Amino acid sequence: MNICILSTTTEAHLAGGSEMHCRLISEGAAADGHRVTLLTTRHPEGKAAEEKNGVRTLYLDGTDHSMSVRWAARWRLKSLEKLRELHAASRFDVLWAENLSGWHCSASRSGLALPLVTIMNGPGVRDGLRSEFNRVSTAGELAVFAVKILPQTLLFYLPWFYHTVKGADALIAVSPESANSIKAEFSFAAAKLHTVYNGIDVGLFRPDPPAGARTLERYGFSGAWPVLLMAGVLHKQKGFHLGLEAFRRIRDKISGARLLIAGDGPERASLESLSVSSGLAGTVAFCGHVPQPALPEYYNACDLFLNPTLRVEGHPLVALEALACGKPVVTAAIGGTLSTIVDGENGFFFKPGDVDAMTEKCLRLFADRNLLAAMSASARSRALSKFSVGKMVREYLRISAVVIDSFKGTL
């Protein structure tokens, strides 16, 4: 196939799950022998184009990944212009679009005879608002939600979301929970909605105890037990502040416990301050942004991965990566996290925001090393059977082939 992918952000712009997903599906399709061209917004350093691992990426000048109303309009104009130019020169077979990146390129809007497969990395609009509201804990945050986030969602995001769902020839949700969230709001989407679990590189993310030991040594935690890890962008809705409180309580029971926090973001300073005020200085390491190739070293340094998120997740990659490294996952049961682990087999669920339950689940594992070892083995097995990049990409290609055939029948 000759595949064009639209994404307003890549890992050159941001370090998030959608950006990683974009790289995995594009490189995965290229590795399978398909031609892949990725269109995205202007490179932060002004780079016009690059080719890497079989993927040709074009950065469109005159656009910006911030996706304000103004920049969203520019993206629609510039990306459709470039798509028409490329399609005329070397016809694409299918268009893949990440999230809301491609609704303006549907056949009915663009006039292009090109089937559109849209990948929804998150839930519907209501659950997106729920995620934003879950982070509210002060009067100021409530005001921001009411005055800024809610109006923007209703006036701009909701119409964009509707047009995205309506214009796609096929929709892919990354978990059953996300699929159900979208169908609950847009019932007409059911007939073209598919569920394909996120995949991760199970060759990169694998058990590697020596790499973990080197990471512990780097942070002065050699010989520490148990070690917990939290990872991701440090936003309030990710619940890292709740994870810190759970860790404080674990330390009350097990004085040798240590915590690694891999990631950066707007909450880092407040989390560092909270760590000190909670008496955790010297027991928590804020590791900052960790490049993707180095992340397995951090998973391998821990005994347990903790995901205290308050966000209605699509299908969190961090949990899948931890499983692939053979680490049990203790996670909030919200959105697509419900499709990461099997409760009691390779981790535990707890109610979002329930620090008591979060603490208890962790302590239960630390009190029974046989259970911890059994869950570790089960974690790796689950990742291999359910969440590989190869399995994900094969499903994308299968769905695309069906859509291409159906689309030809309508011409």
Beta bridge partners of 349: 331
pLDDT at 246: 98
pLDDT at 409: 55
Beta bridge partners of 120: 173
**Lowest mean per-residue pLDDT among 115-119, 159-163, 270-274, 394-398:** 159-163
Which of the pair, 53 or 68, is modelled with greater confidence? Answer: 53
pLDDT at 156: 87
Q: How confident is the model at residue 407 (pLDDT cuts 50, 70, 90)?
A: confident
Number of H helices, E strands in the chain: 16, 14
Which of the pair, 11 or 135, is modelled with greater confidence? Answer: 11
Mean pLDDT of the chain: 94
For the chain, how are helix, strand and coil distributed in percent, rounded to 5?
50, 15, 35
% of the chain beyond a pLDDT of 90: 84
DSSP string, 280-292: -TTTEEEEE---G
Structure tokens at 362: 């962790």
Q: Are 65 and 7 in contact (CB under 8 A)?
A: no
Q: Are 170 and 398 in contact (CB under 8 A)?
A: no
Q: Are 303 and 379 in contact (CB under 8 A)?
A: no
Task: Please give the average per-residue pLDDT across 353-371, as a whole number.
Answer: 97
2-199+389-408 — its CATH code?
3.40.50.2000
Instruction: Give the tens place of pLDDT for each residue, 278-289.
Output: 999 999 999 999
Task: Please give the average per-residue pLDDT across 233-243, as a whole number.
Answer: 94
pLDDT at 69: 83
Instruction: Give the tens place of pLDDT for each residue, 3-33.
Output: 999 999 999 998 888 899 999 999 999 999 9
**Lowest mean per-residue pLDDT among 93-107, 130-144, 341-355:** 130-144
Sheet of 304-307, strand order:
284-288, 258-262, 227-231, 304-307, 329-332, 347-350
pLDDT at 410: 58
Beta bridge partners of 227: 258
pLDDT at 295: 96
Q: Does domain 209-386 have CATH number 1.10.287.70?
A: no
Residue 243 has pLDDT above 90, yes or no: yes
Q: Which helix (H) or strand (E) holds 88?
A: helix 69-89
pLDDT at 67: 80
% of the chain beyond a pLDDT of 70: 99
Residue 76 has pLDDT above 60, yes or no: yes
Instruction: Give the tens place of pLDDT for each residue, 201-211.
Output: 999 999 999 99
pLDDT at 363: 97
Residue 408 has pLDDT above 80, yes or no: no
pLDDT at 16: 82
Residue 45 has pLDDT above 90, yes or no: yes
Instruction: Give the tens place of pLDDT for each residue, 295-337.
Output: 999 999 999 999 999 999 999 999 999 999 999 999 999 999 9
Residue 113 has pLDDT above 90, yes or no: no
Domain boundaries, given as residue ranges, for the chain: 2-199+389-408, 209-386
Bond into 159 cis (ω within 30): no
Q: Do domains 2-199+389-408 and 209-386 have the same CATH topology?
A: yes
pLDDT at 411: 47
